[in-house]
Amino acid sequence: MGSSAASAGAESGLRRVIKVGTSLLRGSPERPTAAVIADLAASFSRQQRQGDRLALVTSGAVGLGCEALRFSKRPTEVVALQAAAAVGQGRLMALYQDAFAVRGLAVAQVLLTRSDLASRRRYQNACRTLEQLLEWGVLPVVNENDTLATDELRFGDNDTLSALVAVAIGADELVLLTDVDRLYSGNPRTDADASPIEEVRDLAELERLSHVAEGGGQWGTGGMTTKLAAARIATSSGIRVRLADGRDPAVLDALFAGEKVGTVFQPSSTPLADRKSWLAHALLVKGSVRVDAGAERALLQQGASLLAVGIRAVEGHFSRRDAVRVLASDGRELGRGLSTLSSEELRQIMGLSSEEVRRRLGAVGDAVVHRDQLVLTCLAS
């Protein structure tokens, strides 16, 4: 991300990631999938000519595969979904290649799993590949590698993937195109009192809306919860997020022009740095440690490392250098980081002084999670 940000500063335009979901690519009799993609190509080409660097995160491989196989309904078994994605991914890329070639744009397929971004080395490799494509003026078309991804290696949704891609390329803006016109205070389909929200100004307001979505019945079980999670990832890394109705073929041009459509999530005024953002959002968390009140104060107020003496419980099974959540005694997440010790080792020495830890485990460092390998994720930070 560091090199991306430097390159972005030298460009005349902005860096933007646009995410298009299955609900839009499914199309309709009035506007089939090919027409949706043709409209995207037209908007993208106009904006690239103005100097913007764009990346596209797309869904749709499984749906197109099911259509090609003439399935009456979407499979539920993982292996069937993976096979359908294998059929549909080629069809999806062919549609993008044909539509963008007409506009004189080259596209590149980039397929990712969670493990590609959870490894620091592979994450940096992905950043460099995306950076090179942008420098060449090639449009990265990013999708989750549904053919290979297992449940534990999935992003879970392409909203999360789009936010991580935006962070990886140092984007200025993430655009989430969906099938509603903006964010509402509740589910507008079932709540007559739901009011439109044009702007979300900070992480505290976003956190409150996320809690409403999680407990909000149908609104919480659909796509809005994942979009709010994506907005949290992006805005905490200094990226503006725009959410708008992708069913309108003119909406992308309006967003590119800066018009007030949909909902805008303003970026944090104190964004996370490159490595801290990766620690907070890209890692696969393997377990957690609960800390006492003294350790919580030291972490939040003094920027300290986490020592064994402050740990009261260890949850899950993890190895050295795995990612863990750091939890308060009441279960609130305080942060995430890389553990220097395994869960088995920590269970032997939690609550002990550094001197006693060395007597039991030998030559190990004082910090269980060093402050350089820890990012605070609670609002109090």
Binding residues: 19, 59, 146, 158, 178-179, 221-227
Residue type, 125: N
Distance between CA atoms of residues 146 and 88, nearest Å: 10
State the alpha helices, DSSP H only, in the chain.
Answer: 2-10, 22-25, 33-49, 61-68, 78-102, 114-118, 120-136, 158-168, 203-214, 218-221, 223-236, 251-256, 274-281, 293-302, 343-349, 354-361
Distance between CA atoms of residues 83 and 326, nearest Å: 38
Distance between CA atoms of residues 23 and 319, nearest Å: 40
Place of tokens 């696969």: 284
Q: Annotate 187-207 with DSSP letters as a single string.
A: -TTT-TT--EE-EE-SHHHHH
What is the bridge-based pairing of β-strands 53-58 and 139-144?
parallel
Distance between CA atoms of residues 106 and 315, nearest Å: 48
Distance between CA atoms of residues 299 and 296, nearest Å: 5
Torsion angles phi and psi, residue 15, rounded to 5: -100, 125
Q: Label residues 208-243 b or e (16+ Cβ within 10 Å = b).
A: ebbebbeebeebbebbbbbbbbbbbbbbbbbbbbbb
- Please report, in range form, the residues annotated as the binding site for ATP: 19, 178-179, 221-227
Q: Alpha carbon 16 to chain centroid distance? A: 14
Q: Annotate 320-343 with DSSP letters as a single string.
A: TT-EEEEE-TTS-EEEEEE-SS-H
- Please report, in range form, the residues annotated as the binding site for substrate: 59, 146, 158
